[in-house]
């Protein structure tokens, strides 16, 4: 009997469900030549099944995006091929493993891939330059860097949430960045603080620092109702200098890790604010001042809608590369796409998956495409995820709004501009962030009804939330959703759960109560996090930390990010 030999000389790429590499394995056995293709993750699964003591090549480098150039690092692929071939040769040379059916099945040909789940390590190599990747690896513990170590998992922490989620109660191991919100520009081109917010911020910083997890605290400026004076604060060199100095002073005073500019929106009224055609250019000038004042290591980010900032023509900028040079991240607010309506639609669609949307620019996929097309690097984009939904007074049992907008949408901002052909186009701008001045209704008690078999079934009622945003935990507390043993949520309290395939989001309906709830759950949030990974984005953030059901949604997001 001759000793089996194994070689991995070739590889190919596949795109479903995400771009990945398939390694071509040729094994010369007594019975002939076996040829098959396997992903790296399948080697990992074999290794775990056999519980062997041999080593696989390391999981690296950082996956940042998947574009054709991502497959160009032949040195890394060759390194992995050699390591995988050596691993299989060790198994075939060991009597304990060489006759195992799991190994023979692994080496045997197959007509198609069986496991369609995407694993991050299947996407090697990285689109980072090799020099940059190696420098990051050298700075990391053990000399290796993996994607989970650098994917950002962040959240906005509004000052009004301190009662429900005190800074001292936060599990900082779950958050890489917390955006403390909000301070607002004022008529003097400095910043104003809400009542008690400075004390809350000091507690947040102290708690984060003492946690030992390195969570960075960034001060968010503006917000949906806080942008009245933004245009003025950026309008002149003197105002910008005064504003930038005020923000830099806050960073130094409170020992912060950076500034997040949440201007909603330049050259657009947002919530009825003054604006100017020069807003976007003035914003860039402010960012440059801030980068100089903060230095190169502090975070400087900007919360943005699905489309780049509007230029002097009223149309989205087509080249934002100068902004990218001074910004650390752009935070895409992929929520508030659809408010409460008799024709409910998705709050936060992942994409226009049915190609039927009348607002195809307003989704996670569209936002990614629009910002990267405008030359903003993918690995500086953070995808915003909603931990809340909308309650509509409606008898619908499907999200018809996902394909046909209505005049009743309360938060979608739109404006008409002329394109290059002198034709009118509609730009959609989302209306970001809940309104803290609107008090949430008190918890709605459930009523009980007796089923035919005598079992008592609690009935949830959400009619007091009609026309409003609803935190995810309130949907659970009302009894319309129930947490299952697997950590996901199911329908309860007389509500029926539906799934909108056009937006990849769940919803609840109760026709007897004429109530529909659009929201996000563990499944849809995990999918969005995986989209961020597969698209090479920097990570995700949520609006907002306090609306979670404990840490259930945050844990789902982290899992989707590979953390």
- Please write the tens of the pLDDT for every residue from 442-496: 444 444 433 334 343 479 999 999 999 999 999 999 999 999 999 999 999 999 9
Which residue spans of the chain are classified as CATH 3.20.20.80?
151-390+405-427+519-561
- Tally of CB atoms within 10 A around 501: 11
Let me know: does 190 contact 176? Beta carbons within 8 Å: no
pLDDT on residue 53 = 83
pLDDT at 532 over 60: yes
Fold classified for 5-135: PX Domain (3.30.1520)
pLDDT on residue 82 = 86
- Comparing 397 with 416, which gets the higher pLDDT? 397
> At 203, which helix (H) or strand (E)?
helix 197-211
pLDDT on residue 425 = 47
> At 148, which helix (H) or strand (E)?
helix 147-150
pLDDT on residue 324 = 95
Residue pointed to by tokens 């003097």:
188
Q: 309: which DSSP letter?
A: P
pLDDT on residue 294 = 93
Percent of the chain with pLDDT over 70: 78
pLDDT at 89 over 50: yes
Query: What's the chain's average pLDDT?
Result: 83
What is the number of alpha carbons within 13 Å of residue 346 lying toward its C-beta? 30
pLDDT at 397 over 60: yes
pLDDT at 412 over 50: no
Rounded to whole angstroms, the Cα distance separating 240 from 189 reads 8
Average pLDDT over residues 207-224: 94
Question: For the chain, what is the radius of gyration of the CA atoms?
Answer: 26
Average pLDDT over residues 510-516: 97
Least confident stretch, 6-20, 101-115, 116-130, 517-531: 116-130
Least confident stretch, 52-66, 102-116, 341-355, 512-526: 52-66
pLDDT on residue 41 = 84
For 497, the 3-state DSSP assignment is: strand
Residue 535 phi/psi, 5° resolution? -90, -5
Q: 316: which DSSP letter?
A: B
Let me know: does 549 contact 561? Beta carbons within 8 Å: no
Which residue spans of the chain are classified as CATH 3.30.1520.10?
5-135
Let me know: does 371 contact 309? Beta carbons within 8 Å: no
230 falls in which pLDDT band (50, 70, 90)?
A: very high
| pLDDT tens figures, 33-43 | 899 999 888 89
pLDDT at 558 over 70: yes
Let me know: does 156 contact 68? Beta carbons within 8 Å: no
Average pLDDT over residues 220-245: 97
pLDDT on residue 419 = 53
- With b for 16 or more beta-carbon neighbours within 10 A and e for fewer, the 292-319 pattern comes to ebbeeebbbbbbbbbbbbbbeeebbbee
pLDDT at 410 over 90: no
Percent of the chain with pLDDT over 90: 61
30 falls in which pLDDT band (50, 70, 90)?
A: confident
pLDDT on residue 432 = 42
32-38 and 20-29 as β-strands: parallel, antiparallel, unpaired?
Answer: antiparallel
Least confident stretch, 13-22, 80-89, 371-380: 13-22
List Cα–Cα distances, 59 to 107, 123, 144, 147, 488, in angstroms.
Answer: 21, 10, 8, 9, 29
Fold classified for 151-390+405-427+519-561: TIM Barrel (3.20.20)
pTM of structure: 0.71
pLDDT at 270 over 80: yes
For 159, the 3-state DSSP assignment is: helix
Residue pointed to by tokens 């499907």:
398
pLDDT at 338 over 50: yes
Let me know: does 257 contact 216? Beta carbons within 8 Å: yes
256 falls in which pLDDT band (50, 70, 90)?
A: very high
């Amino acid at each position: 009997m001759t000793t089996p030999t194994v070689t991995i000389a070739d590889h190919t790429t596949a795109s479903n469900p995400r771009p990945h590499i398939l390694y071509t394995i040729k094994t010369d056995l007594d019975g002939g030549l076996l040829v098959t293709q396997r992903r790296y993750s399948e080697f990992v699964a074999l290794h775990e099944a056999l519980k062997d003591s041999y080593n696989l090549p390391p999981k690296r480098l950082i996956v940042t995006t998947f574009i054709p150039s991502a497959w160009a690092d032949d040195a890394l692929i060759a390194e992995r091929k050699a390591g995988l071939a050596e691993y299989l040769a060790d198994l075939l040379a060991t009597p304990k493993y060489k006759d195992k059916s799991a190994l023979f099945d692994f080496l045997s040909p197959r007509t198609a891939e069986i496991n369609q789940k995407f694993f991050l390590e299947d996407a090697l190599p990285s689109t980072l330059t090799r020099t940059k990747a190696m420098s990051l690896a050298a700075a990391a513990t053990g000399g290796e860097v993996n994607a989970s170590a650098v994917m950002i998992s962040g959240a906005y922490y509004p000052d009004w949430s301190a009662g429900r989620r005190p800074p001292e109660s936060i599990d900082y191991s779950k958050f890489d960045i917390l955006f403390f919100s909000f301070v607002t520009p004022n008529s003097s081109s400095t910043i104003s603080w809400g009542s008690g917010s400075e004390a809350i911020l000091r507690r947040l910083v102290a708690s984060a620092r003492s946690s030992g997890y390195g969570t960075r605290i960034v001060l968010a400026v503006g917000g949906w109702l806080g942008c009245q004076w933004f245009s003025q604060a950026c309008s002149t060199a003197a105002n910008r200098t005064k504003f930038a100095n005020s923000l830099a002073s806050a960073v130094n005073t409170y020992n912060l890790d950076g500034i997040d500019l949440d201007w909603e929106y330049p050259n657009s009224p947002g919530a009825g604010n003054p604006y100017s055609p020069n807003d976007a250019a003035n914003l860039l000038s402010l960012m440059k001042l801030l980068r100089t004042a903060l230095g190169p290591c502090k975070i400087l980010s900007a919360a943005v809608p699905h489309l780049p900032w509007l230029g002097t023509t009223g149309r989205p900028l087509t080249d934002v590369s100068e902004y990218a040079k001074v910004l650390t991240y752009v935070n895409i607010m992929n929520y508030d796409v659809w408010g409460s309506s008799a024709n409910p639609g998705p709050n936060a669609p992942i994409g226009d998956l049915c190609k039927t949307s009348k607002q195809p620019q307003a989704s996670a996929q569209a936002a990614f495409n629009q910002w990267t097309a405008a030359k903003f690097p993918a690995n500086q984009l953070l995808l915003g995820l909603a931990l809340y939904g909308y309650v509509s007074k409606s008898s619908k049992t499907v999200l018809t709004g996902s394909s046909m907008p209505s005049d009743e949408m309360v938060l979608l901002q739109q404006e008409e501009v002329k394109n290059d052909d002198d034709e009118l186009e509609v730009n959609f701008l989302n209306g970001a962030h809940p309104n803290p001045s609107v008090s949430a209704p008190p918890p709605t008690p459930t009523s009980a009804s007796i089923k035919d078999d005598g079992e008592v079934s609690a009935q949830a009622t959400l009619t007091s939330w009609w026309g409003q945003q609803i935190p995810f935990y309130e949907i659970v507390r009302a009894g319309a959703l129930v947490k299952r043993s697997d950590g996901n949520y199911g329908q309860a309290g007389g509500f029926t759960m539906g799934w909108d395939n056009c937006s990849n989001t769940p919803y609840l309906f109760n026709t007897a109560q004429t109530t529909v709830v659009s929201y996000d759950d563990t499944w849809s949030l995990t999918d969005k996090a995986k989209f961020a990974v597969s698209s090479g984005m920097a990570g995700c953030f949520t609006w907002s930390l306090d609306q979670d059901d404990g840490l259930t949604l945050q844990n789902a997001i982290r899992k989707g990010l590979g953390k």
